[in-house]
Amino acid sequence: MEEVELVCTDASALVEAIGSLAVRGAPLLGIAGAYGVALAAARGFDVPEAAQALEGARPTAVNLSVGVRRALAAYEAELAGSGEPAAAAEAALAAARALHRQDAEASARMAAHGLALLGELLPGGGHRILTHCNTGALVSGGEGTAFAVALAAHREGRLRRLWVDETRPLLQGARLTAYEAARNGMAYTLLTDNAAGSLFAAGEVDAVLIGADRIAADGSVANKVGSYPLAVLARHHQVPFIVVAPLTTIDMATPDGAAIEVEQRAGFEVTEVMALQAQVTGAGGGIPVAPLGTQAYNPAFDVTPPELVTAIVTEEGVVSPVTGEALAEMCAAATG
């Protein structure tokens, strides 16, 4: 495995990178969206048009629109005041850098709050944590969301095992989370998504930690598809199911889980192994695993209702039990 830098020289290239998942993960999408607006402004492109394209690149992760709108607001405010496009471009860049810095700070604070919560819920130590998809430094301005909590536990000598769902169909767990765990010297084991139930049944999971792409006002959580079944398993086996996400992921304008738009992706991601990765790297198509013409159901996300969520960890603290009123209070306190 290796890390490769992808250089996007204009907003359209960034839109393509977001759509192909070369840039992915809720916090990083917000940061990238803000920088995309700044890039369009610096290159002299139509900034509102670029912002619209960026915001529409993926519909479920609210952080993307948050980042785009922050940078666009800074750009338009400066342009209205000074009338200088160059100064407006600098304002957009400053807004993007501020969001980047805030996300790194939020990551560290979420790790601290999450570690304290694990100590309360699992006082014995030696945590065995199951995670899904990728929530580390590859999707954040800092060390991530859910992964940052597991990493903090590892550094404190409190992580016995990190169970890593491979995360079908695009294998973000196998390709990315396992890579980050190995790079940090963590004790980890990779499993197929459909093996998680046997882990719970054997009593091998102490807590589930996931991230989020959008949290509705009632506490419903949209995250990588496969998260909802883990929540059901966790409830049945009386295992804490913890969501770790920055406040920018909470969307008070989305009333409940039914109002969250779930992105539907192309069927070839299911019918071919490593299909998207092959396209991104220019290696052609993936390896077919189903008959030609097979239809595939491929939602990128699913939605977990608040009653299955033990706690939501943000940079401002922990919400538990998860209710719309508690989320609203936290958001109001943070902005007030």
Active site residues per annotation: 213
- C-alpha 24/C-alpha 31 separation (Å) is 11
- Residue closest to 19 by CA, chosen among 62, 46, 53, 43: 53
- Residue closest to 99 by CA, chosen among 138, 69, 132, 57: 69
Tokens matching residue 41: 């402004």
Check: CB of residue 129 under 8 Å from CB of residue 93.
no
| β pairing state of 159-165 and 272-273 | unpaired
- Distance set, CA 145 to CA 113, 134, 273, 282, 315 (Å): 11, 9, 28, 31, 10
- C-alpha 270/C-alpha 298 separation (Å) is 7
List 130's β-bridge partners, or say none. 163, 208
CB atoms within 10 A of CB 310: 20
Residue 5 CB burial class (10 angstroms; 0-12, 13-18, ≥19) = exposed
Check: CB of residue 292 under 8 Å from CB of residue 223.
no
List 208's β-bridge partners, or say none. 130, 241
Amino acid at 167: T
Amino acid at 276: L
- C-alpha 60/C-alpha 197 separation (Å) is 27
- Residue closest to 254 by CA, chosen among 304, 301, 219: 219
Indicate the helix (H) or strand (E) that contains 250.
strand 250-251
Cis bond before residue 321 (omega within 30° of 0): yes
- C-alpha 214/C-alpha 10 separation (Å) is 27
